[in-house]
Amino acid sequence: MATGDHPPISMDVVVSSSSTTNIADDETPCCWLCLGDGPDASGMPLVRNCSCRGSSGFAHLSCIIRYAESDGRNSYQGTGNIGAAFQECPNCKQEFQNDLRYHLERARVLFIEKEFPHDHMMRLRALIHRVRVLDAKSDVDRAEGDQICFKMISIIDKMKDDPSMQREWSGEFLKMEAVVLYVVGLFNMGVGSEENLEEALDCFRRAVDLFTLLGDEEINTMTAKKNIAKIEAILHGVEVNNDEGSNLKFSQRQYEYWLEKMGEHHPITIRRGELYAHALYCSNQGVAAERLLMKLAAISCQVHGPNHNSTISATSALKDVKERRVFINSRRQWFHAVRYENKGLSCVVRGPVAQSSRGGHEENMLTLSLPITDVLPAPGTPVVCQGLIERAHLNGKIGDTRGFDNGTFEIHFEDSGLVPACVKNENLRIVFELP
């Protein structure tokens, strides 16, 4: 395959059992553009990789490209940009994903460079989106990415050398330069060689300077600085300093930023929400993490469907945090709690499992029923208080476990009006399903 050639569309975007879920037996998917129900003239099959369901949204890649080009020309005449047809399905109004997005981002670049070669800002935006879908570990994609990075820097330099632009090099132009440097840094970071990491470090540092100069770029500045810290740690052969409190604040701020900018249904927001939930979980805030992932998975399933990347990812993350790890004191091993029995006096557990990992080797798993006094919930486990006499107002209240000392857990409650309390293990029960 020559440099710059793209791979053929893989089977995850052609008509298949997964992409035709919920299609009635008497409905045959057809291209919504040419109405053909078979391959196009070049033998390429119908594709669909958006949020459409049923029989809607299927099309030939060649038809989508022709439609996007025509729509782009018309849109440019009226608005000065080519619209969203290369990136967004006009039927469900959601972004394309996976291989379909990969091919359409390339088609978008080729179209703009052919039709509007002098619109530097639009070219840069297209190149940024293209390089973001490339796999830096693939030889073909890496070669294309190197070319794109060089091209973006060259376009920026050309714009800055233009006397008419020099007077206006602020605002959106300065931000574009910062974003280009940031994206070039990300690509080189993805390649991962020492030379590329040095290049990425330089790009991120320059980007931080520009974001700081612009002001009101807190998220971009914070993200670039975190990448700088990661690269410096790698180059110096030391572990990255993962401050859980700092990571939690950063993840929360990112999620809130994208929530305000794109809305709760956008895949970027859902992904940032996942990362925030992960930070909550790592900070032993299991209840909040699970609540957030329940919300994200439900939103994604409703808007994008059960087979969309966002739904699959959020659902998988939710499944992970719902695993209730417990330490079996008598065995000095970690297990998964499954359920209570014997009127809540015994807990069924399955394991052993590694302390920091999910699951285990099924053939080595044991299923045991143990007294609750031998079963200690892991930090961050959702629990409910019961059987308290002096503090009866806490009975039925849900919280998560934090510190543990001599058979007593520090519980932080979901109800923000309740102060944390120390509760004995026998007065706690694991919550397997949050209400």
Q: Examine the pLDDT at 89 and tell me if it is beyond 80.
A: yes
421: left (phi > 0), else alpha (psi -120 to 50), else beta?
A: beta
* Structure confidence by residue, pLDDT tens digits, 374-422: 999 999 999 999 999 999 999 999 999 999 998 899 999 999 999 999 9
Say how far apart CA 107 and CA 6 lie, in whole Å.
11
Q: Examine the pLDDT at 216 and tell me if it is beyond 90.
A: no
User: What average pLDDT does range 77-87 have in this prediction?
Assistant: 94
Indicate the helix (H) or strand (E) that contains 368: strand 366-371
pLDDT value of position 358:
53
Closest residue by Cα to residue 210 from 159, 171, 248, 262:
171
What mean pLDDT is reported for the chain? 90
User: What average pLDDT does range 46-69 have in this prediction?
Assistant: 95
Which of 34-38, 80-84, 171-175, 290-294 is the most confident on average? 290-294
> Is the bond leading into 352 cis (omega within 30 degrees of zero)?
yes
Q: Examine the pLDDT at 152 and tell me if it is beyond 90.
A: yes
Say how far apart CA 396 and CA 411 lie, in whole Å.
13
Closest residue by Cα to residue 29 from 53, 61, 12, 10:
53
Q: Percent of the chain at pLDDT above 70?
A: 90
Closest residue by Cα to residue 112 from 142, 146, 139, 151:
151
User: What average pLDDT does range 136-151 have in this prediction?
Assistant: 97
User: What average pLDDT does range 142-155 have in this prediction?
Assistant: 98
Closest residue by Cα to residue 74 from 59, 62, 84:
84
At which residue do the structure tokens 């290369």 appear? 86
Q: Give me the sheet containing 324-328, strands edge to edge.
A: 366-371, 346-353, 333-341, 324-328, 375-377
Output 349 or 238, whichever has higher pLDDT. Answer: 349
Q: Which residues pair with 369 in a beta bridge?
A: 348
pLDDT value of position 240:
74
* Structure confidence by residue, pLDDT tens digits, 299-336: 999 999 999 999 999 999 999 999 999 999 999 999 99
Confidence of residue 19 (pLDDT cuts 50, 70, 90): very low
pLDDT value of position 28:
83
- Amino acid identity of residue 20, one-letter, is T
pTM: 0.86
Q: Examine the pLDDT at 11 and tell me if it is beyond 50.
A: no
Q: Examine the pLDDT at 153 and tell me if it is beyond 50.
A: yes
What are the backbone angles phi and psi of residue 69, rounded to the nearest 5°? -65, -45
Say how far apart CA 182 and CA 190 lie, in whole Å.
12
Closest residue by Cα to residue 106 from 162, 147, 55:
147
User: What average pLDDT does range 220-237 have in this prediction?
Assistant: 94
Indicate the helix (H) or strand (E) that contains 108: helix 98-115
Q: Which residues contact 67 (CB under 8 A, 6 or more apart)?
A: 33, 59, 85
Identify the weakest region by mean pLDDT among 113-122, 138-147, 236-245, 273-282: 236-245
* Structure confidence by residue, pLDDT tens digits, 348-365: 999 999 865 555 555 678
Say how far apart CA 104 and CA 97 lie, in whole Å.
10
pLDDT value of position 407:
86
Say how far apart CA 141 and CA 73 lie, in whole Å.
28
What are the respective helix, strand and coil percentages of the chain, to the nearest 5? 50, 15, 35
Structure token digits, residue 396: 């039925």
> For 192-266, where are the alpha helices, taking DSSP H only?
194-214, 218-235, 244-262
